[in-house]
Amino acid sequence: MCERTILTPKNVTVNSINQQLLQNIPGNPYIYKSIDTVIDQNEGVNYPTEFLNSLEFPGLLPHQLQLKVGDPIMLLRNIDKLKLCNGTRLIIKALQPHVIEAQIQTSCGKGEDTFIPRIPLITSEMPFQFRRLQFP
């Protein structure tokens, strides 16, 4: 899986393929839910958390992320420009509540273990700004 890529034009297709692959990996999935908040606290009444959780569009990290130990994953954001950049592939070694331990499969750090933290993404694709804290 680390040497192959599946290209799809829509996130719905990506989610379907990810679910099929996840079912083929033994073990129970660990579910990570994002922490979504509006930037302007005065707008919090207009945009409840449940609404923010439901938002999905290109470039936005998913609200709910299901992972298993042994999953191949790909970073969607830059964390470290030398080893952990957009497109870096990894294999999950351990899933913790606030960090993912994974082994780098590509780039300069191939074979090294690393920790992936949740990162904030602030989007302005909507008429309001909100922040999603999730694993990249």
For residue 90, the enclosing domain spans 11-134
Which pLDDT score, from 0 to 100, does residue 22 have?
Answer: 85
Q: Global pTM?
A: 0.81
CA 64 to chain centre: 9
Which pLDDT score, from 0 to 100, does residue 103 have?
Answer: 96
The answer to whether residue 3 is domain-embedded is no
The answer to whether residue 6 is domain-embedded is no
Considering its fold, how many domains does the chain have in total? 1
CA-based nearest residue to 102, from 65, 61, 60, 68: 68
**pLDDT tens digits, residue range 93-113?**
999 999 999 999 987 888 999
**pLDDT tens digits, residue range 75-93?**
888 888 778 888 889 999 9
